[in-house]
Amino acid sequence: DTEVTQTPKHLVMGMTNKKSLKCEQHMGHRAMYWYKQKAKKPPELMFVYSYEKLSINESVPSRFSPECPNSSLLNLHLHALQPEDSALYLCASSQDAAGRFFGPGTRLTVL
């Protein structure tokens, strides 16, 4: 299985809502990532988990809260988001320093 899955595909939420994005991989990769991508821009790294421990937080606002329940799962909890947080949120995994396998993403709209 060489796939990274993400749910939901689309999400519309108000600024007072709490929601979660989910990501799963079964490639045995030990590194998992959250990226944010705005239109016509490259993916922007948010968080890195290595062996289920948070190893990099790219100064992301606390309204984004990552969680890694086990080596296959990665969540991103969202609370009190702003309209400028609307973007494509991509999960990825990799084996060590190798290429990232990206999921299809969650297209988030914050009203």
Partner 1 sequence: GQQVMQIPQYQHVQEGEDFTTYCNSSTTLSNIQWYKQRPGGHPVFLIQLVKSGEVKKQKRLTFQFGEAKKNSSLHITATQTTDVGTYFCAGLETSYDKVIFGPGTSLSVIP
83 versus 99: smaller Cβ distance to partner 1: 99
Choice between 17 and 37, CB closer to partner 1: 37
Return d(Cα 69, Cα 90) in angstroms, integer.
18
User: Contact 46/34 with Cβ under 8 angstroms?
Assistant: yes
Per the CB < 8 A criterion, the answer to whether 7 and 104 are in contact is no
Chain residues binding partner 1 by CB under 8 A are: 31, 40-45, 48, 50, 55-56, 88, 90, 97-105
Q: Is 33 helix (H, G, I), strand (E, B) or coil?
A: strand
> How many of the other CB atoms lie within 10 Å of CB of 64?
19
Residue with tokens 């595909």: 9
What minimum distance in Å lies between the beta carbon of 29 and partner 1? 12
CB of residue 14 to partner 1, shortest distance in Å: 25
Cβ nearer to partner 1, comparing 45 with 73: 45
Q: How far is the CB of 16 from partner 1 (least distance, A)?
A: 29
Q: Which is nearer to partner 1, 85 or 106 (CB)?
A: 106
